[in-house]
Structure 1
Amino acid sequence: MVALFSARRFHGVIAFTAFALLSVAFYMEYEMGLEPCPLCMLQRIFFFLIGVASLISALYHTVRSRIICSWSVVVFAVLGAALAIRHLYLQNLPAEELPACLPGLSYMVEVFPWQEIMQAMIMGTGECGDVLWTFLGLSIPGWTLVAFIGMALVNAFIALRRA
């Protein structure tokens, strides 16, 4: 019998939450017409990785897999939180201090080496400074930061738990 507050259930909830957040991101992109910036795309990748690691832990539950998956989620969540913090920093810069906007990602993939593409995506571009949507005073990267911090804390607790 699975306990009410088991690591397996928490990982199931975290996997569901990560995939639900991705669904919301795709809804905002395709239905609301909000174009994701490079930092948004990277944050989506980290939510996907968190969802996969949590799903693996929820389905294949051994103590070893729980610990490995929990620490993996902590690492992915910390990296995602760092991107969200960078994104919030860019959103709070004055317009004249924003980095230059870059060409579209599809063009960059065709023309630039992957190292330059990754550097540009991680550093963000001028379009990362646009606040396109807010809820309760927080923009999208603010809410992703909250989600990443919550997921990291829950998984650190799961990984450090003795039982």
Structure 2
Amino acid sequence: MTRNPLKPKLLPFTVALCVSLSLVGGGVLLAQLLHLAACPLCVIQRMLYLLLALAAGSGLVLAASPLARMIAALAMTAIAAAGSGVAAYQVWIQRFAPNTTCAAEMPWWEAFVEWAGRLVPMLFQPNGLCSDPAWKLLGLSIAEWSLLCFFALFLLGLFSLLRKIP
């Protein structure tokens, strides 16, 4: 049986999958073309977008089960909320604490980012500063755009979680 990813029960998962993968791909492309350096918080956001895409993809693959769709929507919502928090923290650093580093000392997540950067440098190499907005579009930094995208994906996940489609 062929599934139509544009059916109402699948559309939020399709949108979240496409948006998340597009944002990761666009971020990598932007970094390469404009020679922008990703910071550890940027890398964490990329990882969260990839996790969100995985959750959305599982919602598409397991679409036949309403319970599986609900669990995938819950995962999407939680991941997008976490991404919103990370992006909001980076926005706060950029706007109100420009002399702040990502963290006072290397916490577990920065060590994890360093490890991932050694494995897949093009995606996860952290060589930028969290306090440096580096590039802006329409007056907003990449972190601010990411915050808006994560919040929109959070609302999409919440919508998918709360609606009643069998």
Question: What's the counterpart of residue 111 of structure 2?
Answer: 117
Q: Normalised by the size of structure 1, how large is the TM-score?
A: 0.80
Q: Which residue of 2 aligns with 1:105?
A: none
Q: Which is helix-richer, 1 or 2?
A: 1
Q: Does 1:150 align with 2:160?
A: no
Residues in 1 aligned to 2:90 and 2:50: alpha-carbon distance in whole angstroms: 18
> Which letter does structure 2 place at the counterpart of 1:68?
I
Partner secondary structure for residue 10 of structure 2: helix
Return the TM-score normalized by structure 2. 0.78
* Secondary structure at 1:29 match in 2: helix
Alignment of structure 1 residues 69-88 onto 2, 5 Å: 69-88=72-91
- Match among 19, 36, 39 for residue 38 of structure 2: 36
Alignment map for 1:51-66 (pairs within 5 Å): 51-61=53-63, 62-66=65-69
What is the correspondence of 1:124-163 to structure 2 with a 5 Å cutoff? 127-163=129-165
Corresponding letter in the other structure for 1:59: V
CA deviation map 1:64-112 (0-9, x unaligned): 11100001011100110000010001101354x423899xxxxxxxxx7
Tell me which stretches of 4 or more aligned residues in structure 1 moved more than 6 Å: none
Q: Return the match for 2:101 from 88, 99, 102.
A: 99
Aligned length: 149
**Matching residue of 2:92:** 89
CA RMSD, Structure 1 to Structure 2 (Å): 3.0
Structure 1 residue 56: deviation in Å?
Answer: 1.2
Distance 1:68 1:33, change over 3 A: same
Match of 1:117, as an amino acid? A
Structure 2 residue ranges without an equivalent (≥5): 115-127
Q: Residues 116 and 41 (structure 1 numbering): CA distance in 2 closer, same or farther, change over 3 Å?
A: closer
Partner of 2:71: 68
CA distance in 2, matches of 1:79, 1:24: 21
Consecutive unaligned residues of structure 1, counting only runs of 5 or more, are 103-111, 121-125
1:139 CA displacement: 0.6
Per-residue Cα deviation, 1:22-49 (whole angstroms, up to 9, x for no partner)? 0011112222210100000000010000
